[in-house]
Amino acid sequence: MTASPPGTLVVISGPSGAGKTSICNELLRRIPNSRWSVSVTTRPPRGTEVDGQSYRFISPEEFRRLEAEGALLESAEYLGNWYGTPRAPVEEAIRAGETIVLEIDVQGGAQIARKMPESVRVFVLPPTMDTLRARLAGRHTESAALQEKRLAEADGEIAFARTSGAYDFFVTNDILEDSVNEILDILRRRHAR
Ligand code: 5GP
């Protein structure tokens, strides 16, 4: 029996409201043998979020324990909450030749760039800052104050993505279908190498 070729780790980052989650859902639907990396977070669930689907919601104590055990591949603090990627499912997916999709912030993206340079890292940009504001306002799952905080983070995140060298690809998410096709093309080109 021959081992399957190693899988692909895909990182999708971008400011809150850029449309990362819709892009990730479409990628997962269209890429065979792909799976979503369920992050752990200390932030409370938002709207209809179900524990274990978008995130596993855990206490700060449990987060610190996982980190101390080395169970997280990367982690970062964003607006006072902690977020991290469990290591085991990523390693398992790569071993099995699958594509695993991580939706993480730029600090996490930079950690993955260092640890797993063979990963594909894409930064999603909003067409304009006004679009970002409108998309955040349309979400209705957060307070206006929290939306402002997320918006205030956006400039710094975009600047960091551009200057850190952690991202090889920048995709402006105007029309979802186009953005998804662009990322699928990037992945096809990577596999053809
Ligand atoms: P949200 O609270 O909107 O779900 O996520 C806030 C930010 O944290 C987003 O930029 C999201 O991509 C990022 N994020 C989600 N999970 C992780 C993770 O496991 N690691 C890191 N570094 N960032 C994450």
Residues paired with residue 101 on neighbouring β-strands, in sequence order? 10, 36
Q: What is d(CA 71, CA 107) in angstroms, rounded to the nearest whole number?
A: 18
Residue 75 has pLDDT above 90, yes or no: yes
Instruction: State the Cα–Cα distance between residues 86 and 71, nearest whole angstrom.
Output: 6
> Is residue 1 one of the residues assigned to a domain?
no
Atom of ligand 1 nearest to the CA of 15: 10
What pLDDT digit, counting tens, does each position of 33-66 carry? 999 999 999 999 988 899 999 999 999 999 999 9
- Residue 3 falls within a domain, yes or no? no
Q: What is the pLDDT of residue 78?
A: 94
pLDDT band at 4 (very low <50, low <70, confident <90, very high): low
Q: Tell me if the pTM is above 0.85.
A: yes
Question: Does residue 160 lie in a domain region?
Answer: yes
In a domain, 139, yes or no: yes
- Name the residue at shortest CA distance from atom 23 of ligand 1: 104
Tell me what the pLDDT averaged over the chain comes to: 94
CATH of the domain at 15: 3.40.50.300
What range does the domain containing 132 cover? 8-192
- Exposure on the CB side of residue 185, measured as CA atoms within 13 A: 9
Mean pLDDT, to the nearest integer, of 28-37?
A: 97
Res. 2: pLDDT tops 70? no
Query: Mean pLDDT, to the nearest integer, of 147-171?
Result: 94
**Per-residue pLDDT at 191:** 83
pLDDT (average), residues 169-190: 97
In a domain, 150, yes or no: yes
Question: Encoding tokens for residue 168?
Answer: 């090889």
Q: Is the model more confident about 151 or about 109?
A: 109
How many structural domains compose the chain? 1
Residue closest via CA to ligand 1's atom 12 equals: 104
Q: Report which DSSP code applies to 3.
A: P
Q: Mutate which of 41, 82, 111, 173 to test ligand 1's pocket (most atoms within 8 Å of Cβ)? A: 41
- Identify whether 72 is part of a domain: yes
How many other β-carbons are positioned within 10 Å of the β-carbon of residue 178?
12
Q: Looking at the domain assignment, is residue 2 inside a domain? A: no
